[in-house]
Structure 1
Amino acid sequence: MTETASITPAATRPQPAAMLEVLHPITWFPPMWAFTCGVVSSGAAVLENWLFLLAGVVLTGPLVCATSQAVNDWYDRHVDAINEPDRPIPSGRLPGRWGFYIAVTGTLLSLALGAVLGPWVLGATVIGLIFAWIYSAPPLRLKQNGWLGNAAVGFSYESLAWITGAAVMIGGQMPAWEILALALLYGLGAHGIMTLNDFKAIEGDKQMGVRTLPVQLGVQGAAWTACVVMIVPQLVVVGLLFAWVQPVHAAAVAALVMVQATLMVRFLQNPIERATWLSALGVSVYVSGMMISAFAVRAALAGSAPL
């Protein structure tokens, strides 16, 4: 008696859950939050422009950020096959070139909505998408170097989103320098946040030649760098808020910085095991300081001529 082996053909269509997973909805929050901080800091009436606010949040999160995640997953599929083989693309749940098609579709949809929202928003969208592609895709592939890659993400997710949120609420004009300063400082601090994400993939990054900061500086060196890069810009923010005569807001941000510093002491004892823990708790505190700072600069600009 002969036995016939049953062969299951390889999947040719993606699972819906895998399509959502490759867009990483959990990562949409930072740029959406930064955009909202920009809206608040602009001083414009939020309720009168709620449709524009909603469209901007959709653009920065479910479109531009999600697209950047799809691009990253597609070009990282070989690294993920080592570090995280259960992810959608290396596992085959998102077969063929579906990951690439999703990235291209997201790019086109982002550009379309950006164009509808006006020339300033379209320009910011183009810049954000350029960073999304050059971060992950060859030949530049900025993520190959932790210094450049993390800077690109911090600028795109925090600074650019914040500046865009402010600019669109004031009719496409360039925001006041105080708003630009806060956006750039919090974008710089996000460089440290991105380093926290690199501790989970050190071995795979070494094998694939990805020079993240944990690979370049070692575990302890990268851990200390991440902490310093997160804390120092926030201390500058505290100083600026005091200079702008917003002592209550400045004290609140300073208190949040102290909370982060306390968490970081524990993180530095075991960076690999506690990087995700610090990212979850510390980032929540970090973004709270962003919104407090947005309200502070709103009050400062409303109370006087540009400082």
Structure 2
Amino acid sequence: GRPAPGGRDRRRAWAELLRLPALFTVPGDALAGAAAAGVRPNARTLLAIGSSVCLYEAGMALNDWADRAEDAAERPHRPIPSGRIRPAAAFTAACALTGAGLALAARAGRPALTVAAPLAATVWAYDLTLKHTPAGPAAMAGARALDLLLGAAATGGSTREALPSAVLLGTHTLAVTTVSRQETQGGSSLAPLAALATTGLLTRLVTRRGHRARPSAGPDRSRTSHGGTRRPGPDATG
């Protein structure tokens, strides 16, 4: 049947609150974590992606709930200050999405839940407390790094191999977030430049590490084509 009056507007308001178009960027971290762990994506990777999506959307709803007073003054067109979504509904959605994200991570296994729990805590801490403090960029960086590790933990059951990539992603996020904050608030450029330099250094180190770990191409010349061991020295002639 036809939707109830205002139904389309409510759906549009929720899509705006949850930033639905940005969802396409979310699975990349979990897939990168699986790749960094050296494991082919599997069903648990899909659970990690689902968990990541839920926690991301929880952060979007919680962000607008936490900023509702500021938005009322500066962005009155946003869903909550415009009255299209009630604050209690946004907060309830954030809680429900967080629970769903943790449940999906638990389905992927204990290692995934071990990463998803601090990721959820970081999302809530950022939105409620840290966003407008000097610790905000670090919290954002930690969330991105944990998101990558979530994919590794769910797919392969371990985060060890993915740690360098997570550090690299976190450092890059820290640099970008710090630069963005400096552009809007002003101040010394030393911190963002240092973060960008660190990102470049870590990129080089991780790349060199991956190159060294890659097995050499070509046949193993210590063996014959029939699988026997080649003896040192010239071949004996009969």
Shared topology, TM-score over 0.5? yes
Distance in 1 between the 2:13 and 2:174 partners?
A: 28
Q: Find the aligned partners of 1:31 and 1:301 in 2 and give their Cα distance.
A: 29
2:102 is aligned to: 111
Q: Is the 8 A contact 1:38 1:165 kept in 2?
A: yes
Q: Is 2:50 aligned against 1:58?
A: yes
Question: 1:273 — aligned with what?
Answer: none
User: Could you tell me which residue of structure 2 aligns to residue 165 of structure 1?
Assistant: 151
- Picking from 135, 145, 162, the partner of 2:126 is 135
Alignment map for 1:14-53 (pairs within 5 Å):
15-46=10-41, 49=42, 51-53=43-45
Does the aligned pair in 1 maintain the 2:168–2:199 contact within 8 Å? yes
| Contact 2:165/2:206 (8 A) holds in 1 | no
8 Å CA contact 1:27–1:65 kept in 2: the answer is no
1:189 and 2:172 correspond: yes
Aligned to 1:150: 137
**TM-score, normalized by length of structure 1?**
0.61
Amino acid at match of 1:221: S
Greater shift in the superposed pair: 185-194 or 120-129: 185-194
Distance 1:133 1:236 in 2: 31
TM-aligned CA distance change 1:245 to 1:105, over 3 Å? closer
Higher helix share: 1
Alpha-carbon distance between aligned partners in 1 of 2:108 and 2:210, rounded to the nearest angstrom: 35
Distance in 2 between residues matched to 1:195 and 1:81, nearest whole Å: 26
CA contact (8 A) 1:196 1:226 kept: yes
- Aligned with 2:76: secondary structure? coil
Q: The residue matched to 1:89 in structure 2 has which SS?
A: coil
1:78 partnered with 2:64 = no
Instruction: Measure, in 2, the Cα distance between the counterparts of 1:167 and 1:39.
Output: 8
| Cα displacement (A) at 1:142 | 0.9
**Are the aligned partners of 2:105 and 2:116 in contact in 1 as well (CA < 8 Å)?**
yes
Structure 1 vs Structure 2 CA RMSD: 2.7
The AA in structure 2 aligned to 1:114 is A
Change (3 A) 1:122 1:241: closer
Contact kept? 1:214, 1:221, Cα under 8 Å = no
Q: What amino acid is the match of 2:155?
A: M
**Residues 186 and 233, structure 1, Cα contact 8 Å, conserved in 2:** no
Which stretches of structure 1, 4 residues or longer, exceed 6 Å deviation after superposition? none
- Partner-residue secondary structure (3-state), 2:81: helix
Gaps of 5+ in 1: 1-10, 199-212, 247-299
Calculate percent identity across the aligned residue pairs.
25
Q: Distance in 1 between matches of 2:198 and 2:24?
A: 21
Structure 1's 220 and 241: CA in aligned 2 closer, same or farther, altered over 3 A? Answer: same
1:45/1:114 Cα in 2 relative to 1: closer, same or farther (>3 Å)?
Answer: closer
What are structure 2's unaligned runs of at least 5 residues?
1-5, 217-238
Deviations 1:168-209 (A, max 9, x none): 222x23423xx31221122122023234655xxxxxxxxxxx
Compared CA separation, residues 72 and 96, structure 1 to 2 (3 A): closer
CA 19–58 in structure 1, closer or farther in 2 if over 3 Å, else same: same
After TM superposition, list the pairs within 5 Å mapping 1:1-307 onto structure 2. 15-46=10-41, 49=42, 51-61=43-53, 63-137=54-128, 141-145=129-133, 147-156=134-143, 158-170=144-156, 172-176=157-161, 179-195=162-178, 198=181, 213=182, 218-219=185-186, 221=188, 225-226=191-192, 228-229=194-195, 231-241=196-206, 243-244=208-209, 246=211, 300-303=212-215
